[in-house]
Structure 1
């Protein structure tokens, strides 16, 4: 194969083009290609007139004996280029619904076209159809397990466009460790267009303490207040709790705002001072406010993992193993890997406690030289209560976790039960049981986890 430049007038359409049933003549193929989707044909013609031919997408041809070329790939472009170069060809198209208007638009574009830039076309010349058949399917049959073109998702398209409010917000949140790329994409590609739909609504922006100017976001509230609302919105979209079909109209978005948890809404200041959401100027990890409680799903929800996607805690490069365990517990199916999840849960609780105790200088009340897990839980709970971070309900949940009754009397959410998952040959954890344990202790874990 070789790169060549070919006169558009020497191009012949492939009468065996797989887009259509076999055509009988060049004239028939020309008409069929142009009119197959007139709107897309006009769009292609307009793009060529305004920007020139695509330099990174060549057509594919094979030579014929009479010094002409059959177009194996790029027949739509060939048809548009022929029409722009020689618009009189359009006069021979049989009249039908929409044809006169289509031809008029094409002729107007032909008048604007610079003929010197569209009378030739860059091409790859193959020796035979068989040689070209290795490459053509890669363009038209999807990713082909990575051998073909892998399309961008919504976030990647937004990143290319730049100046995208939703992407700006996500980058700012990631820079502040409100969530990670894995949190956003663990379930599916994050719906960036739906986030932009929300940010485009003035009522939503006002409630979250945001303003939008020239595609750039600014905030009027303290960063700790902003964090609450943004994490709630991101969680709602990432988990599919709210999707594009539920947020299409202004009335839909009003319903969303009406049900928004009051605890996640920021306190709007009397006097507004705008500051930019610039990821490059995000606060350092040690200066960030404490994480706020995420929206926790119902215990009867259909999530497949132990830790819901909505549970997000501050991450730290100083806790690499905790970070990995946290990610695994947000990925592993609790129904398929209940034993692995049970053991990881027990490990995650104790390592998180050890990390928190060291960071916050918690005083441990212990009976022996080495503190038990129950003693670590009780001492940490007392430490949090003394700081005013615990209410009676949370204290009751932690007391259940710290209980150490015999196996036959143990409550589901207790250290005895967690120990049995690790040490007993007879313990058999259930996925639903593990999710209940997590749902009960998640407020406590939110205070201590720093992965």
Structure 2
């Protein structure tokens, strides 16, 4: 790693740096906590082998290599090797985390990386390619980022998990039988909201088996309701406030006419995966041979005992935050209410801090000295102004931050979970609090 040099002309920095150490300090300062999170990812998952470093050989007697593409990764690797090189540019808490990560890294270090090598004089060609990667879509020349539908579709087609994929399955099903693409209509999130409701799925004759939507009706019958849902969302006749919570979602489905729902007389002998229905490999129950045992009804989804709902559309990018969320999904709040309450508070704060950092709502030092309630309000206002959350949700979160919410969630409640030895968290309140804040947390991690 010592042969790799950070680019003193790095575009992330305001001006060209005079030395390598100055470049290290400037980039570490500019990245802040994101550098620690990148280091966490490298320790946990190593480097993505598909993302090569682009380097230019120097003209020194003993040549070294200036990194044009991969400066953040190079800095993270150097910091994991020798944490003190970034100590002056890091907050004490972040440096402490880096030291812990460095100890893990030393047990299984990365000693070499794969690079695309450019000779002196070939730098213009190299910079053109780097610009193609970092300069946006550029009418298709550069990296074209996936929209929310495309991300969802990728997860669905490559073994992703949970409710995040239900919308992709529905959209692909309709595209295959109707030839109508929803790639530009941005309906995936709301389709996912509806398909994530057990009550909605039961009303439509859908269940989930091994992460796949399974239909109790032939393709033409199940398509009727799914077409209506897609049409209502495309036309914006139905928007987020209309299906904001589970009661509203089931109320919406209850408005469907008989002709817009599957005909009970066409029920299949056995449920078939939605992805298989277009192949027409199922027959209605009426065609089943005599003596065929009746298909058992799927069992009702048991009442969750964990704080967090496993079907939340939340996928934290930071490994530790993702671990905290996964623990909230599995930790039994009835048996461990105190642990669950503290972990819940930690997850809310980590989520808020991630959003603050990502959107640069305040400096890292300012964030350290700003109460969680105020940081929560900053994120809430930013999401609302960006059109990412509806007015009703914005108002609820504002009340939570102001400690004026009449239900379970409030900053006072969160703080007392941690600091008040006389505050005894109730499992039902923890779950209710999660349900109240889930749409907000989904918007934070979208």
Q: Scaled by the length of structure 1, what TM-score is found?
A: 0.52
Which position in structure 1 is the counterpart of 2:231? 235
Which position in structure 1 is the counterpart of 2:4? 11
Q: Post-superposition shift, 1:59?
A: 1.8
Residue number among 272, 277, 293 corresponding to 2:273 in the alignment:
277
Q: Which runs of 5+ in 2 are unaligned?
A: 160-164, 285-446
Residues 1-400 of structure 1 mapped to structure 2, 5 A cutoff: 8-22=1-15, 23-64=17-58, 65=60, 67-93=63-89, 99-113=91-105, 117-126=109-118, 127-128=120-121, 129-161=123-155, 162=157, 163=159, 164-175=165-176, 177=177, 179-182=178-181, 184-185=182-183, 188-221=184-217, 223-244=219-240, 247-250=243-246, 253-254=249-250, 256-257=252-253, 259-261=255-257, 263-266=259-262, 275-282=271-278, 284=280
Q: 1:32 to 1:276 in 2, by over 3 A?
A: farther
Q: C-alpha separation between the residues in 2 aligned to 1:230 and 1:113?
A: 49
Q: Post-superposition shift, 1:117?
A: 4.9
Q: C-alpha separation between the residues in 2 aligned to 1:251 and 1:100?
A: 47
* Paired positions, count: 271
Q: Post-superposition shift, 1:136?
A: 1.3
Q: Post-superposition shift, 1:67?
A: 2.9
Q: Post-superposition shift, 1:260?
A: 4.4
Q: C-alpha separation between the residues in 2 aligned to 1:262 and 1:29?
A: 67
Q: C-alpha separation between the residues in 2 aligned to 1:244 and 1:41?
A: 36
Q: Scaled by the length of structure 2, what TM-score is found?
A: 0.52
Q: CA RMSD in A?
A: 3.4
Q: Which runs of 5+ in 1 are unaligned?
A: 1-7, 289-451
Q: Post-superposition shift, 1:135?
A: 1.4
Q: Post-superposition shift, 1:74?
A: 1.4
Residue deviations 1:256-300 (CA, integer Å, cap 9, x gap): 44554564234668x996502243453559x99xxxxxxxxxxxx
Q: Which has the larger radius of gyration?
A: 1
Q: Is the 8 A contact 1:52 1:117 kept in 2?
A: no
